Chains A and B, each alone.
Chain A
Amino acid sequence: MKQDIILAGVGGQGILSIAYVIDNAALADGLFFKQAEVHGMAQRGGAVQSHMRLSDATIWSDVIPKGQADMILSVEPLEALRYFDYLRPDGIVVTSSTPYRNIPDYPEIDGVLEALRKAPHAVVVDSEKLAKEAGTVKAQNVVLLGAASSFLVLKEESLVRTIEDLFRPRGPVVLEANLKAFDLGRKAALGS
């Protein structure tokens, strides 16, 4: 059993928090994992990605070979498109529909969403709306994690427990908002 996931988004969107939750859930579930991430210059508002590998056997490479990813999990729709060549032909794309426009030549969003639907399995959620509903627009990353959760090889309770550990130090309001964001994301994906 293995699952390779490309996490994608823009620097500052909380990709590494998603990775943190998955890493810890994988440790709790007794799985092997490797997770390669980007630090330094690229983090400043640029495209960022993290390679997340889960398995019940030895994992060799820290990065996912092209064509081997089972999932693209993206907090931004244009960024989801950037890594199609990593995805298996029958892989799943879980992405936000909320564009992050910090470049002058950002394409028409309708075209981006149409291109995303060319993937055989695309789960597109309105993370901005759901995060606001949960209580903070900052929780879009956790909405996406929730949306992906029913497709992950990890136990839901391990994910939720790590989210609790991650956000508890930031106070009950932030914690509740993120737990709700996870739940709303999960339900949105199951309903889509």
Chain B
Amino acid sequence: MSRQILLGDEAVALGAVDAGLSAAYSYPGTPASEILEHLVRLAEKTGSFKAVWSVNEKVAYEEALGASFAGKRALVSFKHVGLNVAADPFMNSAITGANGGFLVVSADDPGMHSSQNEQDSRYYVDFAQIFGYEPSDHQEAYDMAREAFDVSERFGLPVLMRMVTRLAHSRSAVATAGPRPQNALKKGAAKDWILLPVNARRRFVQLLDRQAEMARFGEESRFNVLELSGTDRKLGVIAAGIAYNYFREALAGEAARPSFLKVSTYPLPEGLVRKLVDAVDTVLVLEDGYPFIEKRIRGLFGIPGKTVLGKLSGTLPASGELTPDIVRRALGRPPLPALAPSGLPLAGRPPQLCVGCPHADTFKALNRALEGETGSNVFSDIGCYTLGALPPYTAIHSCVCMGASIGMARGAADVGLHPAVSVIGDSTFAHSGITPLLSAARADADMTVIILDNATTAMTGGQPTYGSGEPLLRLIEGLGVPKDHVRTIEPLPKNHDKNVQTIKDEIAHHGLSVIVAVRECVQEQRKKRS
């Protein structure tokens, strides 16, 4: 057994490797990127398994599912909204089941540090009716990942682990055990995987039949801890995942603590919940994310004779990230004395595009070309260039989900908006921009797509990209965009006037144009130099 300093994400990665992982797939997204980054490093070192940056989360999921069908242990990881992209194979894989152990890691971002929403992946566990883990610390992240593959094979189902930003991006020491050997290839039951209605109906019933066993398994898990106070019947606390840490933090140093249940697995360990509820008058539910547990135990009408407190009751804020300070307040402990603010008004320091960023030059040219336009004409996408929304550029008017910009520009153009401009990065284009561009090309929609080709997935730290340079241009033409209207610009200050003219010309063209702004990310250039 050795001790290593690991990010929460890295602890999951290493736990999977030590469980005999054969293949891992992901698309980068904060706060999940470091899982596959660590796996790529380990795979390069040992050469004993595959670690692949996939083109998007749906593809990543299917690649991992294929490896599981072949009998090997597989992992797929992504941020919470990545699971939306992969939701189709995810939901159906609960019906097909897994063959080799299959761990799905979905990293939520309560507080939206780097995300568009704070959706809670535990709802997906419930939706698919599979087994889920929610670690509270690094050691559990490692231990649960290692155990999850056994559990997946035991139930013949994918297992989901829910991470949150704070754990994903926190470092601590983890005690690791040795690796288990990988599975051999193993033939599975093809008729379970062919989801024709006749098979799917049978498989769904089998999934439902396994629910009770999964619940029992969770009840007995060492990760769920029930501690009943012999004396205090007033308050009991249910704390899930990292909320448990905040609960213990708030009461550290106090002689006694109320009864509590630490929840670490799903489906909810109902028997343990019942024991806690029976032992107290008031139940306080602490969870980082949606009031998932609180809603479950409160139901429509509450629990007769008991008070349930949480986000729904207003005891804790319903939005934003849970913090130790919020939990402290909810437990009725006074705030700790702190140094008074200095009184100096503090200018904010929001994130911004790097000095010398190619996107800055593209936005300057685009703004110039659109001077005088009063509508919301620029549909943008997800990446560093979303920072083009902030001053001094204020160049974009939407950011919804991966690849949305092209379809949205098409829809707006269809109903008469002109100019209709889409701005999308090369990695996001490969992820979800190809199919909407195919559709726009078939219609020769009156719109202008600007692809920012910086040859990397920059926002998440520079992962590889699938569509850049010459192959990207061939791909665009292959989708049916007229050759004369596939233009390239080099976004540099010296080319500003020329670039403005190119954008103006293509906006003036009543049909589909694609302008590719080609210049490498300055961060990646710097990495290569050092």
* A interface residues with partner B (beta carbon < 8 Å): 10-11, 19, 23-24, 27, 32-47, 59-68, 78-79, 81-82, 84-89, 91, 102-103, 105-107, 111-112, 115-116, 118-120
Cα A91 to Cα B336 in complex, Å, equals 13
CB <8 Å contact, A23 and B5: yes
Whether A65 contacts B351 in the complex (CB less than 8 A), given A34-B172, A39-B30, A84-B342, comes out as no
Cross-interface CB contact of A41 among B5, B337, B459, cutoff 8 Å: B459
Cross-interface CB contact of A89 among B242, B337, B387, cutoff 8 Å: B337
CB <8 Å contact, A115 and B343: yes
CB <8 Å contact, A33 and B352: no
Could you pull out 25 A-B pairs where Cβ atoms are within 8 angstroms?
Answer: A32-B173, A35-B170, A37-B170, A38-B169, A39-B30, A39-B114, A39-B169, A40-B459, A44-B352, A45-B352, A60-B248, A60-B252, A61-B242, A63-B166, A63-B324, A65-B249, A65-B325, A65-B328, A66-B336, A84-B338, A84-B340, A86-B338, A87-B339, A118-B342, A119-B342
Cross-interface CB contact of B350 among A37, A39, A46, A67, cutoff 8 Å: A46
- Enumerate chain B residues within 8 angstroms of A66, measured Cβ to Cβ: 325, 335-336, 338
Cα A10 to Cα B31 in complex, Å, equals 19
* B interface residues with partner A (beta carbon < 8 Å): 3, 5, 30-31, 33-34, 113-114, 166-167, 169-173, 242, 245-246, 248-250, 252, 323-325, 328, 335-354, 384, 387, 459-461
Majority secondary structure, B binding face: loop
- Enumerate chain A residues within 8 angstroms of B246, measured Cβ to Cβ: 60-61
CB <8 Å contact, A85 and B354: no
CB <8 Å contact, B345 and A81: no
A91 → chain B closest CB, angstroms = 6
CB <8 Å contact, B170 and A87: no
- Enumerate chain B residues within 8 angstroms of A11, measured Cβ to Cβ: 351
Q: A62-B172, A66-B335, A118-B343 are in contact. List 9 more A-B contacts (CB 8 A).
A: A34-B172, A35-B172, A37-B170, A81-B346, A84-B340, A88-B337, A116-B342, A119-B339, A120-B339
Cα A60 to Cα B113 in complex, Å, equals 22
Among residues of B, the one whose C-beta sits closest to the C-beta of A62 is: B170
- Enumerate chain B residues within 8 angstroms of A63, measured Cβ to Cβ: 166, 323-324
B268 → chain A closest CB, angstroms = 23
B210 → chain A closest CB, angstroms = 34
Among residues of A, the one whose C-beta sits closest to the C-beta of B461 is: A39
Cα A85 to Cα B460 in complex, Å, equals 30
- Enumerate chain B residues within 8 angstroms of A82, measured Cβ to Cβ: 346
A65 → chain B closest CB, angstroms = 4
